[in-house]
């Protein structure tokens, strides 16, 4: 069993070769002021990676609580989520480099199109890394945002003090306090306290 686990740790997941013409992708972490956080994937270059000494991510999940939430909500065993999270010993690193400078187009007037990526239910901005990197390899900047509408496995509030879990439709902060967002009404603000959702239009 131990041999099987070690083999899994070193060989899974095996990421596909980037399909687009850009073979070096950067990734950086951001937050909309007083709102949600997001990851940004974008084209970079081998020279940019070398000059900035950028490295591939050492962990798959930005926060280990995401792996814990996978175990609690979906039932994936902890040893598997820990193995998935450990990229330092993986044979196949994520195909992106943290905080590498963005590639400059030959035409200085050109701008990379922005694609907003919405993660699915029981996911967060750590998921779909392979897809986001593949899209960026075609010359796109890809922003994947953490949802705060109960669909994310885990996220952090804008003040970075409240850690919000999403379990079966309820929200638990770091103090264990439950919060239920208010239903949308005609008079509802664009942002709902503690939930930071975009209003339907």
**How many helices, marked H, and strands, marked E, lie in the chain?**
5, 9
Q: What's the pLDDT score for residue 103?
A: 92
Structure letter (DSSP) for residue 138: T
pLDDT at 199: 38
Among 125, 62, 66, 65, CA closest to 98? 62
The confidence band for 197, taking pLDDT boundaries of 50, 70 and 90, is: very low
For 69, the token pair is 């939430």
Q: What is the pLDDT of residue 200?
A: 36
Q: Percentage of the chain with pLDDT > 90?
A: 33
**What are the E-state strand segments in the chain?**
25-31, 37-43, 97-98, 114-118, 141-145, 154-156, 163-167, 170-172, 178-179
Give tens-digit pLDDT for 156-166.
776 654 555 55
Q: Where are the beta strands (DSSP E) in 73-153?
A: 97-98, 114-118, 141-145
Tens digits of per-residue pLDDT, 152-194?
Answer: 788 877 665 455 555 555 556 556 666 555 554 444 444 443 4
């Amino acid at each position: 069993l131990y041999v099987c686990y070690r083999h899994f740790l070193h060989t899974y997941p095996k990421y596909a070769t980037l399909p687009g013409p850009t073979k070096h992708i950067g990734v950086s972490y951001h937050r909309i002021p007083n709102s949600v956080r997001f990851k940004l994937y974008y084209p970079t270059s081998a020279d940019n990676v070398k000059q900035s000494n950028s490295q591939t991510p050492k962990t798959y999940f930005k926060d280990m609580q995401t792996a814990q939430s996978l175990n609690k909500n979906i039932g994936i065993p902890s040893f598997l989520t820990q193995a998935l999270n450990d990229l330092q010993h993986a044979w196949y690193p994520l195909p992106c480099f943290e905080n590498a400078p963005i590639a400059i187009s030959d035409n200085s007037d050109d701008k990379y199109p922005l694609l907003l990526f919405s993660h699915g239910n029981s996911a967060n901005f750590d998921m779909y890394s392979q897809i986001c990197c593949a899209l960026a390899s075609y010359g796109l900047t890809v922003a994947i945002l953490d949802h705060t509408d109960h669909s994310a496995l885990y996220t952090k509030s804008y003040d970075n003090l409240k850690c919000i879990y999403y379990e079966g439709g309820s929200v638990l902060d770091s103090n264990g306090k439950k919060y239920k967002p208010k239903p949308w009404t005609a008079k509802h603000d664009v942002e709902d306290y503690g939930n930071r959702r975009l209003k339907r239009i």
